[in-house]
């Protein structure tokens, strides 16, 4: 399955390069052919209020400002994003129905479920990936752990629990990686989202938690200590806190990052995908975009379709292998 996915990703990347279209050429061709001439809908695979929803609404504003056409957001949470994804794929492949969801839904889901009503390796085309920012790795202060190596040594000797906000999420894979590569004894405890996970962390019911800075901040004064951040870039809210990579973690999960993807049906013309990506990139420096990144402690901005294709080609197969190693099926 992974090989088929990689081949599909390479074909998508080749198609993007073969188009030879700059953003301005894409704009000229698509507007000349009449796109966009009516409202665009973004289906969000989550409830209002989260980062995926926030990015979708930001993009909707940017789209309307550029083309003077409505762009509406429709939230369809449930079934791990499957409901929203199916709705987008079954819509006409004309660029007027888009999907905003996590990269995890589009990558990890294909190995978590034996049967899906679509083929995630064939039916989805990336437009852009909005970064979600570094996650915070935190422990109970009473453990006496101050960094990654101390956590590893602690968890080798002491069975520990790590909160996870979803099956096959970053903390779930991290716990499994530490167990497999370092002989730790960490059990991932699954919660329905970050909220209840961090509540129990603040109450001292979990030894380790990994999640967003915003959620961590709600318990940082309750005996919880940050010891690392995930991904290649430090958190702007905790600039002195080293990343897992800086602390020597070699496991693949150390360099992996999830994100919030904007995608379309793979049959949508490439020039439309390129045009939509250019809208997102052009909006990076607007006051609303900067405020969103500041609020969610995100140090970098979206880089457009070329970077999204790279992530589909290079990062997704690694995520898939790591999730396959969990041996988990949800159906």
Q: 3-class SS at 271? A: helix
Buried b (16+ CB within 10 A) or exposed e, 177-200: bbbeebebebebbebeebeebbbb
Mean pLDDT over all residues of the chain?
90
The predicted-structure confidence for 46-58, as pLDDT tens digits, reads as follows 988 889 999 999 9
Cβ neighbour number for residue 119 with a 10 Å cutoff = 14
d(CA 18, CA 74) in angstroms, rounded, equals: 33
The predicted-structure confidence for 284-326, as pLDDT tens digits, reads as follows 999 999 999 999 999 999 999 999 999 999 999 999 999 999 9
Tokens for 262? 């904007």
d(CA 82, CA 116) in angstroms, rounded, equals: 8
The predicted-structure confidence for 65-121, as pLDDT tens digits, reads as follows 999 999 999 999 988 899 999 999 999 999 999 999 999 999 999 999 999 999 999
Q: How confident is the model at residue 32 (pLDDT cuts 50, 70, 90)?
A: very low
**Predicted model pTM:** 0.85
Q: How confident is the model at residue 193 (pLDDT cuts 50, 70, 90)?
A: confident
Residue 207: is its pLDDT beyond 60? yes
189, 234 Cβ separation under 8 angstroms? no
- Domain(s) labelled CATH 3.40.190.150 in the chain stretch across 2-132+257-326
pLDDT at 174: 97
Q: Which backbone phi and psi does 89 adopt, to 5 degrees?
A: -65, -35
pLDDT at 6: 44
The predicted-structure confidence for 139-158, as pLDDT tens digits, reads as follows 999 999 999 999 999 999 99
pLDDT at 49: 84
pLDDT at 80: 85
Superfamily the domain 136-254 falls into? Periplasmic binding protein-like II (3.40.190.10)
Residue 220: is its pLDDT beyond 80? yes
2-132+257-326: CATH number:
3.40.190.150
The predicted-structure confidence for 151-177, as pLDDT tens digits, reads as follows 999 999 999 999 999 899 999 999 999
- Domain(s) labelled CATH 3.40.190.10 in the chain stretch across 136-254
d(CA 262, CA 101) in angstroms, rounded, equals: 7
């Amino acid at each position: 399955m992974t090989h088929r996915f990689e081949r599909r990703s390479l074909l998508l990347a080749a198609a993007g390069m073969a188009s030879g279209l700059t953003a301005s050429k894409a704009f000229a061709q698509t507007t000349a052919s009449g796109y966009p001439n009516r409202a665009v809908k973004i289906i969000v695979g989550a409830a209002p209020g989260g980062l995926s929803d926030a990015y979708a609404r930001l993009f909707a504003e940017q789209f309307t400002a550029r083309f003077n056409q409505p762009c509406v957001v429709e939230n369809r949470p449930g079934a791990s994003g499957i409901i929203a994804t199916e709705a987008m794929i079954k819509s006409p492949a004309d660029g007027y129905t888009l999907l905003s969801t996590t990269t995890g839904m589009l990558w990890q889901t294909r190995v978590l479920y034996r049967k899906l009503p679509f083929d995630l390796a064939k039916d989805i085309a990336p437009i852009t990936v909005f970064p979600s920012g570094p996650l915070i790795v935190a422990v109970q202060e009473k453990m006496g752990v101050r960094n990654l190596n101390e956590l590893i040594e602690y968890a080798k000797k002491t069975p520990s629990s790590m909160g996870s906000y979803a099956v096959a999420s970053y903390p779930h894979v991290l716990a499994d990686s530490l167990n497999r590569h370092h002989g730790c004894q960490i059990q991932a405890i699954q919660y329905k989202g970050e909220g209840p996970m961090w509540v129990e962390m603040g109450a001292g019911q979990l030894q380790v938690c990994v999640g967003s800075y915003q959620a961590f901040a709600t318990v940082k004064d309750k005996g919880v200590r940050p010891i690392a951040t995930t991904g290649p870039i430090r958190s702007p809210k905790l600039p002195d806190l080293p990343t897992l990579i800086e602390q020597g973690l070699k496991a693949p999960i150390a360099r992996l990052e999830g994100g919030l993807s904007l995608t379309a049906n793979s049959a949508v013309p490439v020039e439309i995908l390129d045009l939509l990506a250019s809208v997102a990139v052009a909006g990076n420096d607007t006051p609303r975009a900067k405020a969103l990144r500041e609020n969610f402690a995100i140090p970098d901005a979206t880089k457009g379709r070329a970077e999204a294709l790279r992530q589909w080609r290079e990062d997704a197969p690694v995520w898939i292998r790591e999730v396959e190693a969990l041996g988990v099926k949800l159906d």
